[in-house]
Amino acid sequence: MLETDYLVVGAGATGLAFVDTLLAETDDVHVTLVDRRSAPGGHWVDAYSFVTLHQPSAFYGVGSLELGTGRIDTTGLNRGMQELASGPAIVDYYDRVVRTVLLPTGRVGYHPLSAYEPGPDGAHRVTSLLSGAATEVRVRRKLVDTTHSSPSVPATHRPRFAVADGVHLVPPNDLPRLPPGPHRFVVLGGGKTAMDTCTWLLQHGAAPEAITWVVPRDSWLINRITTQPGPGFFAESIGAQADQLEALASADDVPDLFARLERCGVLTRIDRDRTPSMFHLATVAPGEVELLRQVHDVVRLGRVRELHPDRMVLDGGEVPLPPGAVVVDCTASAVEPRPGQPVFQGDRVVPQLLRLPQPAFSAALTGWVEAHHGDDQELQNELCAPVPFPHALDDYPATMLATMRNQHRWSQHPELRRWIRASRLDGFGAVIAGADREDPAQQAVLARFREHTPGAVANLTRLTTALGGVRRG
């Protein structure tokens, strides 16, 4: 039998950020990490090779180890902005987190290729996926279940549509291994994976007219320039946050809110002639948007229901499938709708999103709260109120209201406030705190923060109430 203080199920971004902070903030706890994959990194292990972070490497990962070098890209679609780690680089990073940070403490046991299952009478069991050997685990403090927000990824998900014989259906992972062309491509999905796929195809020689893009719903997108940390991007990032607060305070309704966010440059869209009906926090550079606008054969008939060698059947009708087309399945959902639940539940912790859109920061903060307030569940859940993910546009006011309420709670806790300001995963708190008192432009931005924050909270409360209240999950 194994004994441990914390049994953490999942060695992905959430689990590792939680454990890293828990260890840094305590002297004696022992953690056992269990993961079904052969390497740490969660969904990144199964990701397509050309995936990158949406947002800068500077505030992703775990608190104790930098990701990347802080480089400003000088070429490519991300030119002029902070570097974005590639999928392989992230997998390597998480391997280093486990090998060089966590295991050397002597307080972590890591069990890859292993499955967790609850045993009878509250027991815990870890089973090797190779040998089938089962080990009982005695947990002295808490089970930490990081699977609540686990994404579905193209390489491992099962299509939710019928596929007839003769259809060449592949995940984006297979694209770099295709035999020589010419090829005709049909990309299924309107989210960031589909955008990455179309971008990769165009950058690697596919003609725009060789791509058919099936987009069930158009999406609002975050303009990446507004997510840049560091004092050098104060106007672009902190200024954009002030613009966002003004929009949140002034909007008459949800359509007006998104229109205002677009006008001030916080959000963008690919097709200027269509009003998006989805916002899943995908973040893009202006250059990506311009490149994606080159794809003109866009099918908007809802979701695919059936694929046949000669046609696609969708919610709204049928369209021909080009002969011999390579159909790229990008329909896996990055965030499955799941009901929210308390983060702290007695001897169980269920990390969830606490600030939009930063899951790694949220998990690290949860680890800090567990380390410092492990015996006060009421305070823990007050500090770690889950933020519902916006699955529809009407969800966004409730999501932002929950985020702002959490920010306010944290600001009233001096020790937590200091930790946030020092955390590399926060991204922006230190930039705001370090604003140049002699710079009138920066001080004007901060004045707008103070001016619009109360109005934003009041208006978000009004909008959320009108839309039926805060949805959990």
| Domains of the chain (ranges, CATH numbers) | 2-151+335-389 (3.40.50.720), 162-220+269-329 (3.50.50.60)
Please return the burial class of 254, using the count of CB atoms within 10 Å of its CB with bins 0-12, 13-18 and 19+. middle
Residue 267 clears pLDDT 90, i.e. is over it: yes
Per-residue pLDDT reduced to its tens digit, 88-117: 999 999 999 999 999 999 999 999 999 999
Residue 155 clears pLDDT 90, i.e. is over it: no
SS3 103: helix
pLDDT at res. 7:
98
Strand partners, 34: 9, 111
Residue 286 clears pLDDT 70, i.e. is over it: yes
Per-residue pLDDT reduced to its tens digit, 206-262: 999 999 999 999 999 999 999 999 999 999 999 999 999 999 999 999 999 999 999
Question: Cα(33)–Cα(231) distance, rounded to whole angstroms?
Answer: 37
Question: Cα(452)–Cα(244) distance, rounded to whole angstroms?
Answer: 9
pLDDT at res. 58:
95
Question: Cα(4)–Cα(399) distance, rounded to whole angstroms?
Answer: 36
Between helices 414-422 and 396-411, what is the axis angle to 10°?
110
User: What average pLDDT does range 58-65 have in this prediction?
Assistant: 97
User: What average pLDDT does range 326-333 have in this prediction?
Assistant: 94
- The mean predicted confidence, pLDDT, of the chain is 95
With beta carbons less than 8 A apart as the criterion, state whether 325 and 186 touch: yes
Question: Cα(383)–Cα(381) distance, rounded to whole angstroms?
Answer: 5
pLDDT at res. 274:
97
Percent of the chain with pLDDT over 90: 90
Residue 472 clears pLDDT 60, i.e. is over it: no
Residue 340 clears pLDDT 90, i.e. is over it: no
- In angstroms, what CA-CA distances link 413 with 407, 408, 409, 417, 420? 10, 9, 7, 6, 11
Q: Pick from 175, 228, 198: which is nearest to 56 by CA?
A: 228
Residue 473 clears pLDDT 60, i.e. is over it: no
Handedness of CA 442, 446, 452, 453 (dihedral sign): positive
With beta carbons less than 8 A apart as the criterion, state whether 372 and 364 touch: no
Question: Cα(123)–Cα(104) distance, rounded to whole angstroms?
Answer: 28
Residues 6+ apart with CB under 8 A from 202: 208, 211, 291, 292, 294, 295
Strand partners, 348: 143, 345
Reported residue count of the chain is 473
User: What average pLDDT does range 197-209 have in this prediction?
Assistant: 98
With beta carbons less than 8 A apart as the criterion, state whether 142 and 348 touch: yes
Tokens 């989805």 belong to residue: 278
pLDDT at res. 327:
98
Residue 390 clears pLDDT 70, i.e. is over it: yes
Per-residue pLDDT reduced to its tens digit, 406-452: 999 999 999 999 999 999 999 898 899 999 999 999 999 999 999 99
Question: Cα(471)–Cα(400) distance, rounded to whole angstroms?
Answer: 12
Tokens 């796929």 belong to residue: 197
Please return the burial class of 189, using the count of CB atoms within 10 Å of its CB with bins 0-12, 13-18 and 19+. buried
Structure tokens at 38: 């052969």
SS3 28: coil
SS3 415: helix
Residue 119 clears pLDDT 80, i.e. is over it: no
Question: Cα(226)–Cα(214) distance, rounded to whole angstroms?
Answer: 28
User: What average pLDDT does range 319-327 have in this prediction?
Assistant: 95
